[in-house]
Structures are given as C-alpha cells and as structure tokens.
Amino acid sequence: MKRFLSLIAVLVALVALNVLLPRVTNPYHFQILMLIGINIVLAVSLNLVNGFTGQFSIGHAGFMAVGAYTSAMFTIKLGKPFAATLTLLPEPVAQGVALLMALVAGGLVAAGAGWLVGLPSLRLRGDYLAIVTLGFGEIIRVLLLNIEAIGGARGLSNIPTYANFFWVYGSVVVVVVVAVRLAHSTHGRALFAIRDDEVAAEALGVDTTKYKVLAFVLGAFFAGVAGGLFAHFLSYLNPSSFTFLKSIEVIAMVVLGGMGSITGSILAAVVLTLLPEVLRPVKDFRMVIYALMLIVLMITRPQGLLGTREWSLGGLFRRGGPAKGAA
C-alpha cells in the first residue's frame, strides 16, 4: 500500500512538472534539463557494468546508438501510424504509448547487442575487454554511417518529438530504482563480489559468466532507452553523436561520481552536463577549463565525488561513522 502510494506520488509529480516546466523555463534551460536526464540514465546504466561489476566497457555510446536508431525507426514506421489510430485517447497519451513501445524496442535490441558483446568478452579482462567494447562502438558507428535506409551520413530526421519531461525523468526514476534494488539484493552482491575478486566469487558458487552477461545486458538495455529518449527529444539523429568521445563522456561521469555509487553517477551526470554550458562565457577556453577541472577533481578526489558511498539526507548527520561498503 505504501509502495503503491509512493508510485502514485511520483507519477503525479512527474505529470505536474511535465506541464509546468516548459512554461516557466526558457527553451535553452529546458533542453539542458532534458539532456541531464538522458545523461543520468546513461551514467547509471554504465555504472551497472563498470562500477558494480568492475568490467571496463568503453562502448556505451554504441549501445545508445543501437537504441536510438531502433526506437526512432520503430516510431517512424510503426509507432506514429499506431498513435494516429488511438483517436479515443488524448494526444499526449497516445504519443506516450507509442514512445513507450519504441523505448522498449530500442532497449531490447540494445540489450541483444549487449548480450552479443558480453559473451565473447567473458574470457577477457581489463584492457582487453575495453578494446573489444571500443571496437564494438566503432563498428556500430561505421555501420550507421553506411546504411542508407536510416539516413547514413546525412542522419535520420523527422523523428516525432514524443519525449517530454515525463518520459525522460520517468526513465531516470526507473533506472535508479532498478539499480538501487539490484544493489541491495543477492544479485547485486554477486556483481560486487565479481568486481572485488572474481576468482573468489567463482569459488564460492557465483556464476560469474551469468552475472557478467547480466550486467552487460541490463546496462545496454538502459543505454538503449537513453538513446531512444535522445532521438525522440532532438528529432534528429546522426552517427557523429555516438562517437568514442560520447562513451568517454559517460565513463567520466561514472568515474567522477564514484564507481558503484548510484547517487554519485547522478551528481556527476548533472555536473558534467552543466559544466560546458556554464563555461560558455569563456568561449574558446571552454573545453580547456572543462578538462582542467576534471583533472583537478580526479587528483583531489581519485575515488570520485562520492567514492563507493551513497549520498543520503541521513548520512549528512552521521559523518565519521563507520563507512558502509559499496552501495
């Protein structure tokens, strides 16, 4: 009952903000807010792989691209005509249904890609795994660049802009709830065990193969969802949005926030999305200062903003208490 009430409360808050925010903020601020939401989904999903399980993946933009193009094509070919048939529903609801289907489709195809990459990668660790995921990301980008049916280098335009505040931040809530519940379950502990000592985890009965694939599949699914939101928010996709640099940007969020810390990923996603915008007045020096700030942050807090801890209101009052383990 309590859980049901909080679900209702979250939905009401999302709907209210969805109506209110576009009216009280200017379009530029609103766009940043939406990109922050999408980046939170990306950072938390990558944290499942890199932070929770300790598998260094640098191909997250690839999964995002798979989800983005799949969901965009889904909406263009199926979702939009389908939404038009739902004449009984108010327009935003009909579009929401179409978007939800597109996001799930994008997420599932991305998860399939995550499974494919995860399987051969299981025998690889550290640097070698990183290279495989890097290769995957680049293959996806080059493929997108060369498939004419989805726009190729011209990009894919006229994607219906179904993604509003409700869907972006609704996805944020879902990915965070999934990550937190995973962390506080026997499955999450299995992932942490793999991160800390794979040999010991295996010797204690943890099916490391299964759990590494699980982390990849879950992470890829939500990266695909983030891609779908991105497509339906900007209405235009281009392969150049999913370069290696995008993957690095998401990794920076996970590392900066603290590996394995969900609130850390959220905080870092907010900071790293805002920073380039805040630095606009310094013009040419923008990326120089951005990079410098990253370097200084990593020198002063190598464990990330939050380390492996979680930020909570309660935690503020018990500083100095025994540090809790990851998540």
Partner 1 sequence: MQFGGLKAVCDLDLTVAQGELVGLIGPNGAGKTTVFNVITGVYAPTQGRVTFEGRTISGLKSNRIASGGITRTFQNIRLFSRLTCLDNVCVAAHPHRQAGLTSALLRTGGFERDEAALKQQAMDMLEVLDLEAFADQPATSLAYGQQRRLEIARALAGKPRLLLLDEPAAGLNPQESEELMHLIQEIRKRFGLTILLIEHDMKVVMGICERIAVLDYGLKIAEGSPFEIRNDPKCIEAYLGAELPK
Q: 80 or 187: whose CB is closer to partner 1? A: 187
326 binds partner 1 (CB under 8 A): yes
The C-alpha angle 275, 286, 62, rounded to 5 degrees, equals 65
Provide the minimum distance between the beta carbon of 209 and partner 1 in the complex, in angstroms, as a whole number: 8
- Which of 203, 295, 299, 313 is the binder for partner 1 (CB under 8 A)? 203
- Which of 25, 208, 238, 243 is the binder for partner 1 (CB under 8 A)? 208
Stretch that binds partner 1, among 117-125, 140-148, 198-206, 225-233 (CB under 8 A): 198-206
3-state secondary structure of 134: helix
- Which of 81, 120, 126, 325 is the binder for partner 1 (CB under 8 A)? 325
Stretch that binds partner 1, among 19-27, 29-37, 116-124, 182-190 (CB under 8 A): 182-190
315 binds partner 1 (CB under 8 A): no
Q: 29 or 210: whose CB is closer to partner 1? A: 210
Q: 202 or 277: whose CB is closer to partner 1? A: 202
- Which of 11, 147, 197, 296 is the binder for partner 1 (CB under 8 A)? 197
How many residues form the binding site for partner 1 (CB under 8 A)?
33
- Which of 48, 214, 256, 272 is the binder for partner 1 (CB under 8 A)? 214
- In sequence order, what DSSP letters do the residues of 169-223 get, joined into one string? HHHHHHHHHHHHHHHTSHHHHHHHHHHH-HHHHHHTT--HHHHHHHHHHHHHHHH
Provide the minimum distance between the beta carbon of 177 and partner 1 in the complex, in angstroms, as a whole number: 8
**Distance from C-alpha of 228 to C-alpha of 38, rounded to nearest angstrom:** 10
- Which of 199, 299, 313, 316 is the binder for partner 1 (CB under 8 A)? 199
- Which of 205, 302, 314, 320 is the binder for partner 1 (CB under 8 A)? 205
Provide the minimum distance between the beta carbon of 49 and partner 1 in the complex, in angstroms, as a whole number: 16
- Please give the span between the terminal C-alpha atoms of the chain, in angstroms, as a whole number: 26
Contact criterion met (CB below 8 Å) for 259 and 308: yes
178 binds partner 1 (CB under 8 A): yes
Q: 62 or 304: whose CB is closer to partner 1? A: 304
The alpha helices in the chain, defined as continuous H runs, are: 2-24, 27-47, 60-74, 80-85, 91-121, 126-146, 165-183, 186-196, 198-203, 208-234, 244-257, 262-278, 286-300, 313-317
Q: Is the alpha carbon torsion for 72, 75, 80, 81 positive or negative? A: positive
**Distance from C-alpha of 78 to C-alpha of 72, rounded to nearest angstrom:** 10
193 binds partner 1 (CB under 8 A): yes
| Token representation of residue 190 | 């299995």
Residues 16-35: x/- map of binding to partner 1 (CB under 8 A)?
A: --------------------
Angle at which helices 60-74 and 126-146 cross, to 10°:
30
Q: Taking CB under 8 A as the criterion, which residues in 244-263 touch partner 1?
A: 260
Rg for the chain, CA atoms, rounded: 20
Burial 114-136 (b: 16+ CB within 10 A, else e): beebbeebeeeeeeebbebbbeb
The residues binding partner 1 (CB under 8 A) are 3, 178, 181-182, 185-187, 189-190, 192-193, 195-197, 199-209, 214, 260, 308, 322-326
